[in-house]
């Protein structure tokens, strides 16, 4: 069992930055690919970014590429999402997810564990 707790959300003006953090506890963190998804009101949950267990391979949704950076610290069992140049369309609840033994995918149903989410609101 893995518990994921997100933090770092909030209200920011367009063009600003936020850094989300996801703290994991439970089974060996380094065995998991870690991802961020988001869900805006009235919309389906969508993939944002993923990082392989080794921390070297990452992949981003086109909508955030060049603005967001995902990273992980296996020693601290933490995954981060640095979000720069935020836009109003980035407003959503952001979720951290863990996929055991996987390389990481964009498909939400592939993930074994989810956090409770953290709200990010970008004002124009």
Closest by CA position to 88, among listed 53, 62, 124, 60 = 124
- Compute the distance between CA of residue 28 and CA of residue 66 in angstroms, rounded to an integer: 30
Closest by CA position to 23, among listed 123, 112, 115, 103 = 115
Is the per-residue pLDDT at 5 higher than 80? Answer: yes
- 101 band by pLDDT with thresholds 50, 70 and 90: confident
pLDDT of residue 54: 85
The per-residue pLDDT for range 43-99, each reduced to its tens digit, is 999 999 999 988 889 999 999 999 999 999 999 999 999 999 999 999 999 999 999
- Compute the distance between CA of residue 118 and CA of residue 122 in angstroms, rounded to an integer: 13
Map residue 1 onto helix, strand or coil: coil
The per-residue pLDDT for range 6-50, each reduced to its tens digit, is 999 999 999 999 999 999 997 688 889 999 999 999 999 999 999
């Amino acid at each position: 069992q893995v518990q994921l707790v997100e933090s770092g959300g909030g209200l920011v003006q367009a063009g600003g930055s936020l850094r989300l953090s996801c703290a994991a506890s439970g089974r060996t963190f380094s065995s998991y690919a870690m991802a961020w998804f988001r869900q805006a009101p009235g919309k389906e949950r969508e993939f944002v970014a993923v990082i392989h267990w080794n921390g070297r391979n990452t992949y981003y949704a086109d909508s955030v590429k060049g603005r967001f950076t995902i990273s992980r610290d296996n020693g601290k069992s933490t995954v981060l999402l640095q979000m720069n140049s935020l836009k109003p369309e980035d407003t959503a609840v952001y979720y951290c997810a863990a996929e055991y033994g996987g390389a990481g995918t964009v498909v939400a149903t592939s993930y074994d564990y989810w956090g409770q989410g953290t709200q990010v609101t970008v004002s124009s």
